[in-house]
A = this chain, B = another copy of it.
Amino acid sequence: MKSKPKFAVLGAGHGGRAIAAYLAAIGHDVTLFNRTPENIQTIKQTGGIFLTFTADLEEHLFPTDMEVHKLGRRHEHLLFPETEKIVEEDLRYIFGKIKTISSDIEKVLKDRDIIMVAVPARGHRYMAEKCAPYLKDGQLVLLNPGRCFGALEFCEIVNDYYEGKKKPDVTIAEAQTLIYACRRTKPRNVRIFAVKNSVGLAAIPSKNASHAMGLLKDVYPQFTPKDSVLETSLGNLGGIFHVPTTILNATRIDMRHNFRYYAEGITKHAASIIEDVDKERMAIARAMDVEAISARRWLHQTYDSEGADLYEAIRNTYAYRKIESPKTINHRYIWEDVPTGLVPLSSLGKQLDVSTPMIDSFIHLATSAFKKDFNIDFFKIGRTMEKLGLAGMNIDEIKKFVKTGNRN
């Protein structure tokens, strides 16, 4: 493998755009896949993605000196062609030129060293099924992030595909969280609000985490190796933050009130509830003898936020200040975070005899809220121990399985 790995980025949502634009902007060979062709049409016409950020982020974003453009009126037609929006004074941009932009997975995966899967976790199954036939020896697949047990689900699907055939020697890894706080802004743009200080990374098989780190160290020095995907999975906070915040603000969202999701949506009472949900996640980690830090400490580690309790820590998290409320609760904060965040925790808790009344409450509430429109049961469609192939295993058996990726 050459010194500069070639990347495929799967998914052109918030995270996928940010990763693709960043990697391309710093000079990597990047291809971009999106399931729905319409969503990448403008990027395809432009030949890449504009990445915007405020000046203070420049140093965090780019490890080496790069020419970063100060956004001025003359560039507005590129960045904001659709609006008359007043551009913020300290906004900067950089352009990431993408080699191949396509909905043809074979084309996108051709000749790649690293496959960055940056889709809501509900899409991991789809991506695994799409990728499986084209995987090659030595490749790294990194889920950004895995939510709870994403890498395990991906692994199971690949194993199933190669059942009876020779499986390529692939490292499947997951990040504990997305490296950026970011939002797609315009059809060809993405904005990064914050870069996380430190993001856990674990691989299946476990020992390959160092291989993954070696490949990524130049582009993402923030990744830090973890013993196993149990640590990254049980350390994911998507379900912990998003589900309670969305449900406790469901009527405001339904009424189309605009509010800042974290800054105004998480009041003292809401933070108290989130802390109790988080305690159940930590109890499960403790039962598994897996290292896990509280949501409050996670904010400190990730964003340098200080706070005596979770409420204060959230209020002191700069990355959250500008993030707006969703326009509907029919949103990935429920669709992604209930089935791939809370349900696996609840299911694992049950298997370990760790009770999860708060987690279960939010699964029930989300199921009930979606009843009229979708009539689905999140407990059933979510990542349960059964679906992950972990049902009936004891702690040692689970640990051995995630370490090797093999049952025997």
How far, in angstroms, from A66 to B329 measured CA to CA in the complex? 52
Interface residue A301 (Cβ < 8 Å from any Cβ of B)? no
Closest to A329 in B: B269
Out of B254, B255, B267, B361, name the residue touching A360 (CB < 8 Å).
Answer: B361
Interface residue A75 (Cβ < 8 Å from any Cβ of B)? no
How far, in angstroms, from A370 to B275 measured CA to CA in the complex? 12
Produce 1/0 per residue, A67-104, CB < 8 A to B. Answer: 00000000000000000000000000000000000000
How far, in angstroms, from A266 to B248 measured CA to CA in the complex? 13
Do A372 and B268 touch (CB < 8 A)? yes
Interface residue A49 (Cβ < 8 Å from any Cβ of B)? no
- With a cutoff of 8 Å between Cβ atoms, the chain B residues found around residue A309 in the complex are 372
How far, in angstroms, from A365 to B276 measured CA to CA in the complex? 9
Out of B252, B254, B358, B364, name the residue touching A368 (CB < 8 Å).
Answer: B358
Interface residue A272 (Cβ < 8 Å from any Cβ of B)? yes
Out of B251, B268, B372, name the residue touching A249 (CB < 8 Å).
Answer: B251
How far, in angstroms, from A266 to B255 measured CA to CA in the complex? 10
How far, in angstroms, from A265 to B329 measured CA to CA in the complex? 15
Interface residue A264 (Cβ < 8 Å from any Cβ of B)? yes
Do A267 and B248 touch (CB < 8 A)? no
Do B267 and A368 touch (CB < 8 A)? no
- With a cutoff of 8 Å between Cβ atoms, the chain B residues found around residue A248 in the complex are 247-248, 250-251
- With a cutoff of 8 Å between Cβ atoms, the chain B residues found around residue A371 in the complex are 272, 276
Do A251 and B273 touch (CB < 8 A)? no
Interface residue A357 (Cβ < 8 Å from any Cβ of B)? yes
Interface residue A369 (Cβ < 8 Å from any Cβ of B)? yes
A-B contact pairs, 5 of them (CB 8 A): A249-B252, A251-B266, A251-B267, A257-B257, A309-B372
Provided the pairs A247-B248, A255-B264, A266-B251 are in contact, do residues A276 and B361 lie with their beta carbons within 8 angstroms? Answer: no
Out of B269, B368, B370, name the residue touching A250 (CB < 8 Å).
Answer: B269
- With a cutoff of 8 Å between Cβ atoms, the chain B residues found around residue A131 in the complex are none
- With a cutoff of 8 Å between Cβ atoms, the chain B residues found around residue A252 in the complex are 249, 251-252
Do B361 and A269 touch (CB < 8 A)? no
Do A365 and B361 touch (CB < 8 A)? yes
Interface residue A293 (Cβ < 8 Å from any Cβ of B)? no
| CB neighbors of B among A182-216 (8 A) | none
Known: A248-B248, A272-B369. 18 other contacts (CB 8 A): A249-B251, A249-B252, A250-B269, A250-B270, A251-B265, A251-B270, A252-B252, A254-B270, A257-B257, A269-B329, A272-B370, A272-B372, A273-B365, A273-B369, A309-B372, A358-B364, A358-B365, A360-B361
